[in-house]
Amino acid sequence: MARTRAANVERTRVTQNHDIIRQWAERRGARPATMPGSEDDGHLRVLRFDFPGYGGAVLRPVDWDEWFATFDERHLHFRYQDRRPDGTPSNFNRLERPAS
């Protein structure tokens, strides 16, 4: 039984559901963002989440409506993980284009 539970904890999930994506991000304190200068003709090109306490790339905050408009326009899928194998929340996520 423990092996089954651990396997379920580690697996990734895929969704296009805005509510699931937003809830996943908000539970981690993450906000929708983009890379400054990546816009093309006023449209977002690079979608990211800005997690509190993580350094690295400088991100520009965007609102959820703008983030999801780009997500939908590009027909993206959100791959994510809820928990790590040790049971702690996972920040793993990736935006993917569906296979043609």
Sequence-ordered alpha helix ranges (H) in the chain: 2-10, 18-27, 64-73
Model pTM above 0.85: no
- State residue 16's pLDDT score: 98
Please check whether residue 56 lies inside any domain of the structure.
yes
* Helix, strand or coil, per DSSP, at residue 37: coil
Residue range 57-66, pLDDT digits in tens: 789 999 999 9
Give the separation between CA 48 and CA 67, rounded to whole angstroms.
9
Please check whether residue 4 lies inside any domain of the structure.
no
Per-position DSSP letters for 48-75, written without gaps between them: EEE-TT--SS--EE--HHHHHHHHHHTT
Please check whether residue 33 lies inside any domain of the structure.
yes
What is the tally of structural domains in the chain?
1
Domain hosting residue 56, numbered range: 12-96
Residue range 65-88, pLDDT digits in tens: 999 999 999 999 999 999 999 999
Work out the mean pLDDT of the chain and round it to a whole number.
88
Give the separation between CA 92 and CA 12, rounded to whole angstroms.
9
Please check whether residue 6 lies inside any domain of the structure.
no
